[in-house]
A and B are shown apart, each in its own frame.
Chain A
Amino acid sequence: MIFQSFDYLIFLLIVVVTYWRLPMRVQNWFLLAASLVFYGYVHPWYCALVGATILIDYSAARMLSARPQGSRGRKRILATSLTATFSILCWFKYFNFFTEAFWTAFAQLGIDIPKPIIEVLLPVGISFYTFQSASYVVDVFRGRQDLCRRLDDYALFVVFFPQLVAGPIERAGHLLGQITRPRVADAKQCADGFTLIIWGVFKKVVIADSVGIMASRVFSIQDASFPMVWAGVIAFGVQIFADFSAYTDIARGTAKLLGFDLMKNFNHPYAASSPVDFWRRWHISLSTWFRDYVYIPLGGSRCGRWRVAFNLLLTFALSGLWHGANWNFIIWGVYHGILVAIQHLWQSRNGGGAGTSASFIRSFLARAGTFVLVHIGWLFFREQNFDYLIEYLSLSPFGVTTSDWETGLFIALLAQLFALPLWIHGWMDKHDNRLVKWLSGEEPGVSPIRRLTVQAVLVFVLALLITSLRSPISADFIYFQF
């Protein structure tokens, strides 16, 4: 089921109304059932797959907690559990990719054997729930997470429908605790949830889908010129941020309507002043996952600077691979790994880092430079055909027709006009705007009526714009494919 559909609206209405009429324990069963309906709506067999992951990790955690810390069998249990969980992911997501890679290598060596290819649909959200479930087992192993004794609660943690398909990738310490405690209906939280959902729908159907059409047009023609390709990249930059953050907003808003709080996944990433800063603001739940479960176990920042750089490179390459079984995603990950590693090497050599104050011009240049670097990365991310990728990178800005420059500038500007609400939101957040504080309830002494009035006006404007400016073509959320 997709968030921006009429089916989902009906589903959500039924779930929310029924949910708050039930006692806590029944609420959890009801949410579990609703989540399975949501997930299995198109392909019921998806539920069997996620069920297998749940059973594997739930059993592993139970076995781990039955053994004292440091005992011999624990590592074996962890390894078995992670191998089993990630095997499911690899089978569906990476089997064909690695087979292709190995068989190409064999062919280079003159070995010609029949290639096994599986024709199977990639289950939606498998990368997200696999990582969420695996993190719980690792946390139990490390002794940082108490065992969840109830299978139904654990299953709900993995399949909780608002964030099941495209995150945020929650940690057990945050979400599982909320599942096992009773939730209280709160007017402010529900109003915030409603507003977030409308804001998310606006970002998806007005910004992401409209700008996505422009990007698709550019990347559909065979002789795109320099200004057109980079205008397409700018449009894609707006599309992917609006699209993914829209999903997160709708997920967080839905969770709030049910009395849950999901983590923030974005913090105005295009206002980042460096590649490291970008990754503190972009897909936060995934970047912190890789930090905690890959980068730190590799040695993190506790090693020599070249080893740290290698750790960063490896972590980002894996992060790229997580996005999809294609070389372009690995290149994208490695590209960001190189940027972050260079920044790390630079800072460790020059003693720079967080807390260094910068002039306005320096800060502006840092942000503009990061914006450009991130958008170069989006070209790797967007273009899956290697030949076209090379062609696009080798395009020159010289000798292009005026018509193409006009088209490129038009697309870039139009994309940014659609993105204007995102920039305004970012500016308001950065400058501690009172409106944002009202809406987030941080401004002391604001009456609930006044706050709700502001929210009602905001909802009115957004609904007006959704109805008037929505894209005629609605695409799936980009991160569904991961």
Chain B
Amino acid sequence: MSLSVRSSIFILATSAIVAVGVAVKLREASERTDDGDRGLRGASNFVEQGRTHTKDLAKRISRAQHIAFVGNSMLGTRIDKDTINELAKPREVAILKEGNTFSAVWYLGIKQIIESPTPPKNVVVFFRDRMLTWPTFRLNDNAVEFLQGMMESNGVDPLVDRYLPAEGEDNDGFFNELEAIHARVTEPNDAMITRIEDLALDVTKIEKDKDKRRFAMSERFSMENLRHDLPADIQDEVTTMSTVSSDGYETPNDFHDALAESLLPAMVNLCRENGVRLILVRVKRRPDAKGYRESSPELDQYISDLSKWLAERDVPFIDAAPISPFTEADYADGDHVSAESRPAYTRWFWKQLTPHLAP
């Protein structure tokens, strides 16, 4: 008996689709029994991470602060905690960093800081190039969960909520449904991957148990230990000529278009209304990064417009890109400053910051 092309492909495609359905169902079942163990490939419970970040912020701002630094690894790898504490004395400083975060997270963080019983006099936000007006950057499913985790205890913020995919039926219900299915299909089964890793950890055990080894590996591969010659993680948003895109996330090229879609005005208003000085810091990206230009006329125009807009609102803006004396040798991987140069960077930065600080 012979088979037609159509029926052969139909049978194979059907078995593939059924397999995908089975995999999704299996994953849902495994998630119900998952103990939240974190896989080494970085998979974890992002809702929980968002909750933890919020709790962490609340804990760190519970005591009186004079200056709160907010940002992602651009802040974390630039400001040395001991050095800044020493320089700022007798003022108290809080460094509220969380890697891979973006402006929507910073906005929620600022909101939380301001709502605290003893808000700081100054909030300093570190950002790269266009990131301040790009709230949807990194807003993939993980980041959505992170934001949801952050908003759980403090209530949903309508300004942030507008960036999140709507739940249930609405005008775009069908597409949301499709997106949800796509996300379920393309997300790996963390529990299954963790089991394979556990097997490898058990077989290769010499001394330490699994948890200790996971911790040791996480330390071993931490940012502090990264090579100095690796390119930056964000590459093309500074050179693209039209609508800027990076890893599939888009933002308008023009500052005013980007501003309309951003949380920057909300950040500025929030701080002004509560008597907190907002200071914005654009960091200098890795100089002479292999294969990537540092700037473009479009980006220069954007920064110039941003600077004017902030000046009109009396918001201090430190653009470290043209003035930072630090060279490629001071950087670790990509745009991160190395641990060795961090104290020097902190001292240099403090000099730039002090004229702008509210008393």
Q: Which residues of A contact B (CB under 8 A)?
A: 6, 20, 119, 185-188, 190-191, 194-195, 198, 210, 213, 217, 219-223, 385, 388, 402-407, 409-410, 413-414, 417-418, 447-449, 452, 455-457, 459-464, 467-472
Complex Cα–Cα for A169 and B282 (A): 47
Known: A221-B226, A223-B225, A402-B207. A187 touches B220 (CB 8 A): no
Contacting pair B19 A464 (CB below 8 A): yes
CA distance A185 to B6 in the complex (A): 10
| B159 at the A interface (CB under 8 A) | no
Asked if B27 is at the interface of the complex by the 8 Å CB criterion, the answer is yes
Q: Which residues of A contact B216 (CB under 8 A)?
A: 403, 406-407
Given A448-B3, A464-B22, A194 contacting B13 (CB threshold 8 A): yes
The reply to whether B41 and A471 contact each other, CB–CB distance below 8 Å, is: yes
Q: Are A468 and B43 in contact (CB under 8 A)?
A: no
* B205: chain A residues within 8 A (beta carbon): 406
Within the complex, what minimum Cβ distance (angstroms) separates A258 from chain B? 12
User: For residue A259, which residue of chain B has the nearest CB?
Assistant: B5
Partner of A198, one of B3, B16, B187: B16
Q: Mark B201-224, 1 if CB is under 8 A from A, else 0.
A: 101111110000100110011000
Q: B2 near A410 (CB under 8 angstroms)?
A: no
Inter-subunit contact B206/A468 (CB<8 Å) = no
* A407 with B217: CB separation less than 8 A: yes
- Chain B residue nearest to A185 (CB atoms) is B5
Enumerate chain B residues within 8 angstroms of A185, measured Cβ to Cβ: 5
Complex CA distance for A414 and B201, rounded to whole angstroms: 9
Contact: A468 with B27, CB < 8 Å?
A: yes
Q: Are B8 and A187 in contact (CB under 8 A)?
A: yes
Chain B interfacial positions (CB closer than 8 Å to A) = 1-5, 7-9, 11-20, 22-24, 26-27, 41-43, 182, 185-189, 192-193, 196-197, 199-201, 203-208, 213, 216-217, 220-221, 225-230, 293, 333
- Using known A-B contacts A463-B19, A464-B23, A469-B188, determine if residue A410 contacts B12 with beta carbons closer than 8 Å: no
Q: Is the CB of B27 within 8 A of A406?
A: no
Residues of A within 8 A of B43 (CB): 472
Give bound CA distance, A413 to B206, whole Å: 14
Contact yes or no, A463 B16, CB < 8 A = yes
Contacts of B9 in A (CB 8 A): 190-191, 194
Taking CB as reference atom, which chain A residue is nearest B217?
A: A407
- Using known A-B contacts A195-B12, A407-B216, determine if residue A467 contacts B20 with beta carbons closer than 8 Å: yes
Chain A residues whose C-beta falls within 8 Å of the C-beta of B3 in the assembled complex: 187, 191, 448-449, 452
**16 pairs of residues in contact across A and B, judged by CB atoms under 8 Å:** A190-B5, A191-B9, A198-B16, A219-B227, A220-B227, A221-B220, A222-B228, A223-B225, A410-B213, A447-B1, A448-B2, A449-B1, A452-B12, A460-B16, A460-B18, A467-B185
> Which single member of B12, B41, B197 contacts A456 (CB below 8 Å)?
B12
Residue numbers in B under 8 Å from A447 (CB-CB): 1
**Secondary structure dominating the interface of A:** helix
The answer to whether A463 touches B23, judged by C-beta atoms less than 8 angstroms apart, is yes
Contact B186 A470 (CB under 8 A): yes
Residues of B near A188 (CB, < 8 A) are 8
* Inter-subunit contact A468/B189 (CB<8 Å): yes
Q: How far is the CA of A137 from the CA of B273 in the complex (A)?
A: 74
Q: Is the CB of A457 within 8 A of B23?
A: no
Give CA–CA (A455, B197) in the complex, Å: 29
Q: Is the CB of B220 within 8 A of A467?
A: no
Nearest CB of A to B34, in Å: 14
Q: A222-B228, A456-B12 are in contact. Are A217 and B5 (CB under 8 A)?
A: no
Residues in chain A near residue B221, CB distance under 8 A: 217, 220-221
Tell which of B15, B18, B41, B206 has the most Cβ of chain A within 10 Å.
B15
B188, A222: Cβ atoms closer than 8 Å: no
> Nearest 10 A-B pairs (CB), nearest first?
A467-B23, A463-B19, A409-B204, A463-B16, A468-B189, A464-B19, A456-B15, A460-B15, A414-B200, A191-B8
Complex partner residue of A414 from B12, B192, B196, CB under 8 angstroms = B196
Judge whether A448 and B1 touch: CB under 8 Å.
yes
Nearest-CB distance from A480 to chain B (Å)? 15
Among candidates A417, A449, A459, A470, residue contacting B200 with C-beta atoms closer than 8 Å: A417
| A191 CB contact (under 8 Å) in B12, B228, B333 | B12
A410 touches B16 (CB 8 A): no
Chain B contacts of A463 at CB under 8 A? Answer: 15-17, 19-20, 23
Asked if B206 and A402 sit within 8 Å, CB to CB, the answer is yes
The CA-CA distance from A223 to B19 in the complex, in Å, is: 43
Which of the residues B11, B18, B20, B192 comes within 8 Å of A469, measured between beta carbons?
B192
CA distance A462 to B19 in the complex (A): 8
- Check B15 against A459 for contact (C-beta < 8 Å): yes
Extra inter-chain contacts (6) besides given A448-B3, A452-B12, A467-B27, CB under 8 Å? A220-B333, A405-B206, A414-B196, A467-B20, A468-B23, A470-B186
Q: How far is the CA of A456 from the CA of B19 in the complex (A)?
A: 10
Q: Which residues of A contact B11 (CB under 8 A)?
A: 452, 456
For B333, what are the chain A residues with a Cβ–Cβ distance below 8 Å? 220
Residues of chain B with a CB closer than 8 A to A6's CB: 182
Residues of A within 8 A of B203 (CB): 413
A22 to B22, CA, bound (A): 37
Nearest Cβ on chain B to A194's Cβ, whole angstroms: 5
B220 partner residues in chain A, CB cutoff 8 A:
221, 403-404, 407
Task: Tell which of A198, A222, A449, A455 touches B225, judged by Cβ atoms closer than 8 Å.
Answer: A222
